[in-house]
Structure 1
Amino acid sequence: MGAPQSTWLFVLLLLTQGLPPRVAAEGPESSDGPSSGQEPVWLTDVPTAVEFIAAAEVAVIGFFQDLEIPAVSVFHSMVKQFQDVAFGVSTNSEVLTHYNITGNTISLFRLVDNEQLHLDSEGIENIDDTKLSRFIEINSLHLVTEYNPVTVIGLFNSLIPIHLLLMINKASPGYEENMQRYQKAAKQFRGKILFILVNSGVKENGKVISFFKLKESQLPALAIYQTLDDEWETLPIAEVSEEQVQNLCDGFLQGKRLRDNHESEERAQKVEL
C-alpha cells in the first residue's frame, strides 16, 4: 500500500507474535472451487490459461522453460497439500509471453484483488517444499479468508483497503449456513472489500475482537474497517444475512459512517474518568 501502515494492520501483526510460526490457511471451501486432483492442469495456450485463472479464487502456475529443474518436482508436491488452490503448468512460449514471464517462474494469481505475484528466478533456483508452501500460504487470499498468523501477512499486503470481519465461533450452531451467506455476499464486493473470518473460538483471536471494543456476549458480529484512515464500524448480529452485509458495506463505501457514535462513547468515557 502506498499509504502509511494502519493501526489495525499493525495490531494484527503484533497479535501474531508468540503464536505458532506456521498454521495451515483454512479458507472456507467453495462448491465451485478447484478439484482435488493429484496433478496440475496443463495450460497449452493463452485462452486456456486465461480461463483457468479466471475460474479459480487462487491459482498457482508453474511457468517452466525447463521441466528438468528441481523446482518442478517441488511444485508438483504442493498439489496434494493445498486442496483449495488450483494448480497449472505451462511451457508454451505464447503463454509465458502473455504473462511477461522470461524465465522459470512460479506465479500466484488472486481473484479477490486481481493480484499476480511471482517467485523470481533466484527464488526458483533455491526453492524447497517449505519455501514454496510458505509462499502459497501467505498469499492465498480467497473471497473469504480465515484470519490466522500466516494469512495475516497476506491480508497486510492486500491491495484492498477496506476489510470486513465476521467474528463468529466456528463450533456454534448454524455456522455453516452463516458462512454460506457470508461467502455469497463476498462475491458482490470482489475487488472492493476484503472479507475475513475470525474464529472467536480460538483464544488468541480474542485480541482482535477486543480491538473493536466487542465482548463475547456481543458475538457474532461484523466489523468493517478502512485501513487508510482507521475508520471502523461494528454491528452485532443474531445471524448473517446477505441484505444486512450488503447494507453495511454499501453504506461504508458511500461514506455513511457511524463514527460519531464511537467518538461519543470515547468522550463519555473520558468525562466519566
Structure 2
Amino acid sequence: SARPCDVDYLQGYFNPNSVTTKRSFTAATGCVFFTGILCLLFSDSGLIKLNDLKAAKAFVDSAEVVIVGFLESEESRGFSEFLEASKQVESVPAAICSVNEVWVDYSISSDTIILFRKADNHQENLVISEAKKLETDGLVNFITINELRYITEYNQVTAVGLFNSDVKTHLVLFANRGSKDYTELKERLGALAPEFTGKLLFVLINGAVKSNFKSLNYFGLKSKDLPRVGIYDGDSDMKWLLPDGDISTERVREFCQSFLKGELKDMKQAGEEPKTEL
C-alpha cells in the first residue's frame, strides 16, 4: 500500500487516480538472435517461443522490459488476449514458454503472464487463475502501467507503475521537451541509471506540459528554470535539488551517492520557503 505523502506531489507527479522495439527477426529462418549467439524459434502465432532455460534467460536479459506468457499451450485461457496485447504494445518484446522445467526456475506453478523489468529488478506476475476477467485491453494496461525503464518519462500511465514500485526514491530530470539539451540529458542520465538499479528510479518530467506544473512547483521550480535535477525520497517524503550548474554524469552520480550515504538529509530541502518571524 502507498505511504502517505505530500498531496501536491501525489496529484502532480504520480497522480495514482489517473490510470489510463518492435521485435526484429529474420523471416526466412524464423529465428531471432540475442547477443549474436542464441536463436529462438517462433511459434505458429508469431510469438517468440522459449524452449529451455537458457533461451528464457537470454530473452529476459535482452531488453529493459520484456513480457513472457508462461502458458501450457496456445489453447490456454488468456493466450489469444496475450497475443493481441503484444501486437498493440510493440515497444515491449513478448514471448511464450510452455516448458514446465523453465517454470520451476521462475517459481511458477500455473499459467502466468510475467513482465520483467531491469530498472528495479522487478517481475510483475499476473496469475491467470486469479484473474476474474481477462481481456486484451486489460493486458495492454497491465503492460503499459508496469513498463518502467532505466529512465521513465512520467505520464498518467507510467505514474501508476512508478508509484507501485518497491523502489521509493526517484532521481528526477526536469526538462522541457523541444529544448536543445532535452534528448542529450535524457540519454546521459539513462546511461547512468543502471548503476543505481534497485536503489533509485530515474524519472523524466517534461516541464513544458501544463499537467506537470504541480510537480515542478513541489520542487520550487518553474518551466523557465529548467533543466534541473532533483531527488524525491518517498520513505521520508523529502526532496532535494542538485545545485544549479552543469548536469554532468559525474555531478548526478555524486548527487545520487550523497543521498545513499545519508548526506542530503542535512541539506535544505527543495521548495522550502524561508521562515519569517511574525
State if a TM-score over 0.5 links the two structures: yes
Superposition TM-score tier, normalisation by shorter sequence: 0.7 to 0.9
User: Any idea what SS the aligned residue of 1:269 has?
Assistant: coil
| Aligned-pair CA distance for 1:148 | 0.9
Aligned position for 1:30:
none
TM-score by length of 2: 0.83
Question: Do 1:221 and 1:235's aligned partners in 2 also have CA atoms closer than 8 Å?
Answer: yes
Distance in 2, matches of 1:219 and 1:120, equals: 43
* Greater alpha carbon shift after TM alignment, 47-56 vs 132-141: 47-56
| Aligned-pair CA distance for 1:110 | 1.6
Aligned position for 1:148:
155
User: Any idea what SS the aligned residue of 2:58 has?
Assistant: helix
Question: Do 1:219 and 1:236's aligned partners in 2 also have CA atoms closer than 8 Å?
Answer: no
Question: Do 2:16 and 2:163's aligned partners in 1 also have CA atoms closer than 8 Å?
Answer: no
Equivalences, count: 258
| Aligned-pair CA distance for 1:212 | 1.0
Question: Do 2:219 and 2:270's aligned partners in 1 also have CA atoms closer than 8 Å?
Answer: no
Distance in 2, matches of 1:150 and 1:115, equals: 18
Distance in 2, matches of 1:75 and 1:66, equals: 12
| Aligned-pair CA distance for 1:34 | 6.7
Aligned position for 2:33:
none
Distance in 2, matches of 1:263 and 1:218, equals: 13
RMSD of equivalent CA atoms = 2.7
| Aligned-pair CA distance for 1:7 | 1.5
Aligned position for 1:5:
3
Distance in 1, matches of 2:223 and 2:201, equals: 23
| Aligned-pair CA distance for 1:216 | 2.3
- Indicate which of 190, 194, 200 corresponds to 1:193: 200
- Indicate which of 73, 84, 97 corresponds to 1:77: 84
| Aligned-pair CA distance for 1:21 | 4.8
Q: Say if 1:270 and 1:254 are closer, same or farther in 2 by CA, change over 3 A.
A: same
Question: Do 1:40 and 1:86's aligned partners in 2 also have CA atoms closer than 8 Å?
Answer: no
Aligned position for 2:37:
none
User: Any idea what SS the aligned residue of 1:35 has?
Assistant: coil
What amino acid is aligned across from residue 178 of structure 1 in structure 2?
L
Give a deviation string over 1:71-118, Cα, whole Å, max 9, x none: 212111223322321211101111112212222211111212221211
Structure with bigger helix share is: 1
What amino acid is aligned across from residue 94 of structure 2 in structure 1?
F
Unaligned runs of 5+ in 2: 26-44
Aligned position for 2:11:
14
Q: Say if 1:40 and 1:124 are closer, same or farther in 2 by CA, change over 3 A.
A: farther
Distance in 2, matches of 1:58 and 1:145, equals: 11
TM-score by length of 1: 0.84
User: Any idea what SS the aligned residue of 2:212 has?
Assistant: helix
Question: Do 2:23 and 2:90's aligned partners in 1 also have CA atoms closer than 8 Å?
Answer: yes
- Indicate which of 45, 48, 51 corresponds to 2:55: 48
What amino acid is aligned across from residue 165 of structure 2 in structure 1?
S
Matches for 1:1-273 after TM superposition, within 5 Å:
5-8=3-6, 11-15=8-12, 21-22=19-20, 35=23, 39-123=46-130, 126-235=133-242, 237=244, 240-257=247-264, 259-262=266-269, 266=273, 268-271=274-277
Unaligned runs of 5+ in 1: 23-32
| Aligned-pair CA distance for 1:228 | 0.7
User: Any idea what SS the aligned residue of 1:270 has?
Assistant: coil
**What percentage of residue pairs aligned between the two structures are identical?**
34
What amino acid is aligned across from residue 7 of structure 1 in structure 2?
C
